[in-house]
Amino acid sequence: MDIYVKSRGVSFDYYWQKVEQAKLKKQEPNLPEGILKLIDSEYLSLVLFRSEKKLILLITSLDTQSRTDSRMRKIRNSIVWIGDDNHETEAILRSLVVYYCKNVDNLVLQIDRAVASTKDGFSVDYSELPSLEIDKQLSNKLPDLSLKIGNLENLRDKLAEELQKSQIPADKEGFLIVLSEVNSKKSFQSAQVWRGLSKQIESDDWENIQADSNFFRKPSKQNKGGNSRSMATTMTEEKKASLNILTLILSLCLIVSVIGNIWQWNQLNENKNKQNTLTSKLEELTSKINTENEKLKELKKDVEFYRTKKENLEGYFQNIKENLNKAQEDLNKTKEIFNEVDNYQLSNSNFPS
């Protein structure tokens, strides 16, 4: 099982390191492109993914208690486990998902204790990382193959119970489990997630989503064996050799044609999935932009309101000023009248009686 941790130091930007018991090596994990396109790695997310005979468990944006960078921004950790697609790896990663569902806060603290900032970046204490032991309560019943999604807070415990009882689908490629804060129902549908939980989905119970025709990756063993037996029973004596050769040629042509059609079909589905994923991302971005536009409109309304208030106050103070000026003029006129009266009385007092 390969383990990689992504973090940063005080002055060093984020980077990946491969973690082994005795050493660290600066190395990026080989992650399928689709994983990081579906989730927003800036938010706490968990993804269990199957690709090229590998099982991958990725957890992103794990908080730290006291680590900050040179700008006093909180540092976050990410971790990924990658192992061969076998029963042991499936049981270990399933146990980790159960632990995450039941004790996510403890898992965050445990990884925080294992990672420390250094002058050259960051270090990882292998012994402090979550144990790769199989949960003793794990059983191996056959899984429910239907695709289901729901609310993260309401169904986290139910998912843990299901994973303790049942295996993960063995024939499902791509996204197996996604736990997210921001994904929409449509993004889970496009990615064909077996079990998807998000805070953005409002539901009290599981919701089924439609599975595409290429949901499973492997043909059944019965069909393979049946074809072999059919070919074996058609073998006859040498006198039918020419007929067998012709049949073989026609069969090869048919196989090539079928493979070509399957390849084209898979390419079309892959392009469709990519288009749906991009459409979902665009819709989420559009939603965020609309939200910000609504906030901007409210801000403009507030600005207009206070500008109107300002204009009203300015008009009010202008009227007061004009009234004061008029009152001053009236006062001056009154003073002039009193002065004239005083002068008149004074002039009359100078005549002899």
Average pLDDT in the chain: 87
Using alpha carbons, select from 120, 125, 169 the residue that is nearest to residue 143.
169
Decide the pairing of beta strands 195-198 and 147-151.
Answer: parallel
Using alpha carbons, select from 191, 232, 220 the residue that is nearest to residue 36.
191
For the chain, what is the domain count?
1
Q: Does 353 have pLDDT greater than 70?
A: no
Establish if 90 belongs to a structural domain. Answer: yes
Q: Round to whole Å and give the CA distance between 244 and 231.
A: 10
What pLDDT, on the 0 to 100 scale, is given for residue 229? 33
Is 45 within 8 Å of 39 (Cβ atoms)? Answer: yes
Q: What residue type is 36 in one-letter code? A: L
What pLDDT, on the 0 to 100 scale, is given for residue 236? 43
Q: What is the mean pLDDT of residues 96-120?
A: 95
How many of the other CB atoms lie within 10 Å of CB of 298?
A: 10
Q: Does 3 have pLDDT greater than 50?
A: yes
Establish if 121 belongs to a structural domain. Answer: yes
DSSP 212: P
Q: Does 129 have pLDDT greater than 80?
A: yes
Evaluate the CA torsion angle 203, 208, 214, 215 in order and state its sign: positive
Q: What residue type is 267 in one-letter code? A: Q
DSSP 36: H
Q: What is the mean pLDDT of residues 319-347?
A: 86
What pLDDT, on the 0 to 100 scale, is given for residue 316? 82
Give the pLDDT band (50/70/90) at residue 242. Answer: low
Establish if 146 belongs to a structural domain. Answer: yes
Establish if 323 belongs to a structural domain. Answer: no
Residues of the domain holding 163: 2-218
Q: Round to whole Å and give the CA distance between 62 and 50.
A: 22
Using alpha carbons, select from 61, 80, 211 the residue that is nearest to residue 149.
211
Establish if 186 belongs to a structural domain. Answer: yes
Establish if 268 belongs to a structural domain. Answer: no
Q: What residue type is 77 in one-letter code? A: N
Residue with tokens 């990382």: 129
139-189 tens-digit pLDDT: 999 999 999 999 999 999 999 999 999 999 999 999 999 999 999 999 999
In which order are the strands placed within the sheet that holds 195-198?
24-26, 15-19, 2-7, 74-84, 54-68, 45-51, 174-180, 195-198, 147-151, 207-209
Establish if 281 belongs to a structural domain. Answer: no
Between 85 and 321, whose confidence is greater? Answer: 85
42-89 tens-digit pLDDT: 999 999 999 999 999 999 999 999 999 989 999 999 999 999 999 999
Give the pLDDT band (50/70/90) at residue 213. Answer: low
Which range of 81-85, 233-237, 339-343 scores highest in mean pLDDT? It is 81-85
Is 244 within 8 Å of 237 (Cβ atoms)? Answer: no
What pLDDT, on the 0 to 100 scale, is given for residue 291? 85
264-277 tens-digit pLDDT: 888 888 888 888 88
Is 16 within 8 Å of 28 (Cβ atoms)? Answer: yes
Q: What is the mean pLDDT of residues 269-298?
A: 85
Share of the chain above pLDDT 70, in %: 90
Establish if 54 belongs to a structural domain. Answer: yes
Give the pLDDT band (50/70/90) at residue 232. Answer: very low
